Amino acid sequence: LMECAKLSHSPNLKYVSMRGCESLPYVDESICSLPKLEILNVSGCSSLKSLSSNTWPQSLRALFLVQSGLNELPPSILHIKNLNMFSFLINYGLADLPENFTDQISLSESREHKCDAFFTLHKLMTNSGFQSVKRLVFYRSLCEIPDNISLLSSLKNLCLCYCAIIRLPESIKDLPKLKVLEVGECKKLQHIPALPRSLQFFLVWNCQSLQTVL
């Protein structure tokens, strides 16, 4: 798919997905303005050059941008209210997320800036938009999580999938509200430290190098 249709004459659309359309350079602005839109998924649209709208619908609940061609977060997205789910690359632009921007954030590492991911995350953990998030997902390639993840005082669910991480940070035990920890397909993971007393569900699968769980 190299061109998407104008959808301004389809005002009842709630779910629009162009996931994996690797040749798509633009999303028509009419899609971002659909009055009942709840989910927009452009993950994997690696040629995507822009995604902008002056007025995002208040109905929008989920926005998936991970592994798209967007390396910078469009400023207009920061004004979206009432999001439940949001995914993007680990990026310094996320430091501007407002408090209570969304309940769930999914992050993956940029192929172009892999060495910067740890330092970027360290900065993001101090941001109010992250400190209010309830579910955080790390997906693919991430090698290390900074110790200041303990600043995420609202975090209830932490998930790592297909990451290259070797050990979880010791500070994970200081997350006061963490109830669910999921670790899957992290084939280099060797060590899981002591976990917080608040934890209710602990799920680990296909972590072939795991040696120690405290």
Q: Answer yes or no: is pLDDT of 32 > 90.
A: no
Report pTM. Answer: 0.89
What strands lie across the sheet with 157-161, from one edge to the other? 15-17, 39-41, 62-64, 83-89, 102-108, 135-139, 157-161, 180-184, 201-205
The pLDDT value given to residue 114: 52
The pLDDT value given to residue 60: 94
The pLDDT value given to residue 27: 87
Q: Which pLDDT tens digit goes with each residue over 162-208?
A: 999 999 999 999 999 999 999 999 999 999 999 999 999 999 999 99
Mean per-residue pLDDT for 10-28?
Answer: 92
The pLDDT value given to residue 112: 57
- Rounded-to-integer distance, Cα 161 and Cα 141, Å: 9
Instruction: Please list the residues that pair with 104 across neighbouring strands.
Output: 85, 135
- The per-residue b/e assignment along 4-40, b for 16 or more CB within 10 angstroms, e otherwise, is beebeeeeeeeebebeebeebeebeebbbbbeebebb
Mean per-residue pLDDT for 52-61?
Answer: 85
* 213 — pLDDT class (breaks 50, 70, 90): confident
The pLDDT value given to residue 149: 95
Q: Which pLDDT tens digit goes with each residue over 119-177?
A: 999 999 999 889 999 999 998 878 889 999 999 999 999 999 999 999 999 999 999 99
The pLDDT value given to residue 14: 96
The pLDDT value given to residue 87: 94
Q: Which pLDDT tens digit goes with each residue over 63-115?
A: 999 888 888 888 888 888 889 999 999 988 898 899 889 999 999 886 655 55
- Rounded-to-integer distance, Cα 100 and Cα 213, Å: 33
The pLDDT value given to residue 115: 53
